[in-house]
Amino acid sequence: MISVVVPTYNEEKNIARCLESLNEQSIAREDYEIIVVDGHSRDKTVSVAKRYADKVIMQKSKGVGGARNDGVGFAKGEIIATTDADCYVPDDWLEKIQADFKKRKNVAGVYGPIKPIENRVKYRMFLGMNNALAYILYKLRIAYMTVGANTAFRKKVFLDIGGYADYSAGDDYEMPFRLKKKGKMYFDRKLFVYFSMRRYEMFGTFNSLYSWVINVLADVFKIKKDVRKYNKIDYDGESQGAKTQGLKVYISCNGLGLGHVGRMLSVANVLNKRGDKVIFGTWGPGVKFAQKEGFSCYELPAVDWKDRTDGSFDIAGTVARAPLILISMVRLFSREMSILKKERPDVVISDGSIGHCTGRSLGIPSMYVDHQMDFPLSSEIIRKIVTQIHNFSVKRGKRMVVLDFEPPDNIYPYSVTDIKGVVYTGPLVGSRPEEYGAQEELKKKLKVNNRLCVILISGPKHSPFALEEKILAIEDELMKIEEWMFIIKAPMEHENKQNIRYVRWVDDVYELIKAADVVVSRSGYTTVCDILAFFKKSILIPQPKQVEQEALAEHLKDKGIVRMVLQDELEKLPELIKDTFNNDYEINMAELRDVSNGINKYRAGQKIVDIIDEMLDVKGD
């Protein structure tokens, strides 16, 4: 026998449709029962439910999970099926559940996809992606994304594990992890229910998702103390406004590569020079980078994607890692909670990370800083979804700063946004050409007598090693260009050749850029802006399938201020280097000069500090 449990609360308008669909099942009526667990509704839900259900009981336990637990306590069936009061099910729903358990004796739980009742494209896309992710994670045996609207399990096993936990959200996501210890989980792609998106329509898709994630962080992953108790830091009566200089600033940076930490050092140095205390938080090589520059830096849990050995983005691998990425984000959120509570900064700056969300949850003025406000994805619908999720996160900060020129002069094609209150500060760069001597003097210092090409091999994970391998493959061709000296900043040590010098680390990369006649590099935004600031001819090699780098390189090539070559076509690089140097018509030097002057004029680091002072109402001397 199957017992169907339906929790309700003020569902007078929806419950009849749900229960009618349950009463019209293809299996014999005596083979299943319908149990409605009502949370003390104030409308006519109970009276409507009594017309259709076998049992209507009043809820005693807390939450939706508690209601399901109460229903199981009254169930006669060996199999428990659950759905929601605002859903309805196909007439063969219970037949499929019955067959799944009969065929698979070792299965503890069965679940399937959900389809939107509201026939709107965005909801079909949203649930379609959710269902696809659920199936992929199931096949990889990483996670089991069950939903209470479409789940069934063996009653004995369910009772053995203690039922649903008392969570505000995510109880149906957490329960299968315990259920799995007693038997297998099975995802039946043909077992679906029609799911109401009314809450998403009422509160907005991304507000609903944000609320769900916060509750999961607070409950399922046991950081309830941080998220809920410390809604606001106790500043011991100190006023956040009308302060003199002497601020404490926490800078949270994305740790993929060195670009995010590198550019925020421009802000940190301005703050440091006037006597403010700066603390960094990041992961990966950025930790030692910040410490080497003289700043305190907390090491944060890494939030990482999956890449291939050629440095390209592995979409399938990243999707498969989604639960691990979520756990990493939870750990990151919790870690920064503890850091902010300990350090009590006056302001939080987040560069491509989630520090501004953490700061906001604690009542600390927060600023989000980045150059990317839109995403160059092949699917327009997916692009809009990703962009809206990103923009919703961005709005968690009190101030939003875009590190680019205002349109139409923007360097990065996807820095444009319609979010109100955004400030364009221009790109952040680490140094400026006037801080260094003449090019020929620097060449003498570097013991270079010929034309100089600097090749900067950088990037996260496999990316630098993949590019290094390609450069080594054309080493003989570079050696044939005897009138050129090549200084290659590489991740590994290599033997120097007659006109090739390898370096793993340089104290001042800007000195190399200023001395160079041509610079070759990846097309990461920070690196490209540094090169442009020094008015250098450059050749960009975008990281394969990294849409941001590909979009930036293509955009600047179309504007005529850089050359570009693909990683798989590096046999063209030796001739391209010579051609770039010899032929000014290949690069629009006037346009390059305008961009270079603009970067050096904007002084983005100082602008961001001015915004911080305005946020906190800081009075200067």
Q: For 13-22, what is each residue's pLDDT tens digit?
A: 999 999 999 9
- The tally of CA atoms less than 13 A away on the side-chain side of residue 428 is 24
Higher pLDDT, residue 249 or 175:
249
Tens-digit pLDDT profile for residues 378-397: 677 777 777 777 777 677 66
Domain 436-587 has CATH 3.40.50.2000: yes
Distance CA 457, CA 445 (A): 22
Query: What amino acid occupies position 444?
Result: K
Q: How big is the CA angle at 532 (ends 529 and 538), to the nearest 5 degrees?
A: 110
Residue 608 has pLDDT above 80, yes or no: yes
508: which residues sit within 8 A by CB, 6+ positions away?
431
pLDDT at res. 399: 86
Separation CA 86–CA 117 (nearest Å): 9
pTM of the model: 0.62
Distance CA 487, CA 442 (A): 13
Q: Where are the beta strands (DSSP E) in 283-418?
A: 296-299, 347-351, 366-370, 399-402
- Strands 79-82 and 151-154, sheet pairing: antiparallel
Which residue(s) pair with 5 in the sheet?
35, 82
SS3 content of the chain, % helix, strand, coil (to 5): 45, 15, 40
What per-residue confidence (pLDDT) applies to 475? 95
Residue 227: the pLDDT is 34
Mean pLDDT of 240-245: 38
What are the angstrom distances between the C-alpha of 381 and each of 318, 378, 384? 20, 9, 5
Mean pLDDT across the stretch 65-84? 95
The CA-atom distances, in angstroms, between 592 and each of 184, 386, 499, 587 are 61, 32, 29, 8
Distance CA 347, CA 613 (A): 10
Angle between helices 525-533 and 547-559 (to 10 degrees): 30
Mark out the alpha helices in 344-462 (DSSP H runs): 355-361, 380-394, 439-445
What's the average model confidence in pLDDT over 353-364? 82
Q: Identify the pLDDT of residue 151.
A: 96
Q: What is the per-residue pLDDT for 20?
A: 96
- Is-contact 248 359, C-beta < 8 A? no
Q: Does domain 248-370+372-424 fall into CATH 3.40.50.2000?
A: yes
Tens of pLDDT, residue by residue over 514-531, are: 999 999 999 999 999 999
**Residues paired with residue 36 on neighbouring β-strands, in sequence order:** 6, 56
- Contact status, residue 615 vs residue 347, Cβ threshold 8 Å: yes
Distance of alpha carbon 616 from alpha carbon 391, whole angstroms: 24
Residue ranges matching CATH 3.90.550.10 in the chain: 2-204
List, for residues 113-149, the tens digit of each pLDDT value: 999 998 888 888 888 888 998 898 888 887 788 889 9
Which is more confident, 134 or 89? 89
Just give the CATH number of 2-204. Answer: 3.90.550.10
What is the percent of the chain where pLDDT is above 90? 61
Neighbours of 341 (CB within 10 A): 13
Report which of 551, 570, 581 is spatially closest to residue 468, judged by C-alpha positions.
570
Are the C-beta atoms of 542 and 548 separated by less than 8 Å? no
Q: What is the pLDDT of residue 323?
A: 77
Residues found in the chain: 621
By C-alpha distance, which of 608, 619, 614, 616 is closest to 248? Answer: 616
As annotated, the residues of the chain forming the CATH 3.40.50.2000 domain(s) are 248-370+372-424, 436-587
Q: Express each pLDDT in 576-606 by its tens digit.
A: 999 999 887 778 999 999 999 999 998 899 9
Tell me how far CA of residue 450 lies from CA of 236, 440, 446, 518, 537, in angstroms: 63, 10, 11, 12, 17
What is the CA 198 to chain-centroid distance, rounded? 27
Task: Tell me the range of 241-245, 273-277, 352-356, 384-388 where mean pLDDT is highest.
Answer: 273-277
Judge whether residue 312 has pLDDT over 90: no
pLDDT of residue 117: 93
How confident is the model at residue 207, as a pLDDT? 52
Mean pLDDT score, 99-104: 94
Taking 90 as the threshold, does the pLDDT of residue 376 lie above it?
no
- Residue 234 has what pLDDT? 33
Q: In angstroms, what CA-CA distances link 86 with 5, 8, 310, 615? A: 13, 9, 48, 45
- Please give the mean pLDDT across all residues of the chain: 86
User: pLDDT tier at 168 (50, 70, 90 boundaries)?
Assistant: low
